[in-house]
Structure 1
Amino acid sequence: MFEKLRDMICEYVEIDKNAVTENSRFVEDLGFTSYDFMSMIGELEDTFDIEVEEREVAEIRTVGEAMRYIESLKE
């Protein structure tokens, strides 16, 4: 899961994939804009066959939080 998410992140922002950790914050550390983030969420929905709640996604700040959220939806 982490590898796939990290690869996706690198499609949206120019960052060395080794710099992406579970503690990386999307906006502050990785340079995501809200548009980048929402675009990636759409791709995550398609890739992992999930449907996210916009209110819940708005609370996600780190890569680790995103992974845990995706995993909870897949259960």
Structure 2
Amino acid sequence: MTGKSKSLLVGLFNAGSLGTGHDELIATVLRYDVDIMAINETWLREGEIDRAPVIPGYKLRHTPRPPGKRMRGGGVAAKP
């Protein structure tokens, strides 16, 4: 051990749709300099990952609501 502590900073963001309002998500990730940002209510369907914002240094991992559900919203994602 070098005496330096290591920590992992994780955030949670309720997007209410990753297809819109990218500025708030990007500002939050950059402001808090999180290692992992969990995102709920992505509202992205299968094949719509291109609608999500791109944040340098992060890669989106997304799981949409299962097909066949007629409900609005849903989906979870993480940007590690």
Same fold? TM cut 0.5: no
Larger strand fraction of residues: 2
Larger helix fraction of residues: 1
Superposition TM-score, scaled by structure 1 size? 0.31
Q: Which is higher, the Rg of structure 1 or of structure 2?
A: 2
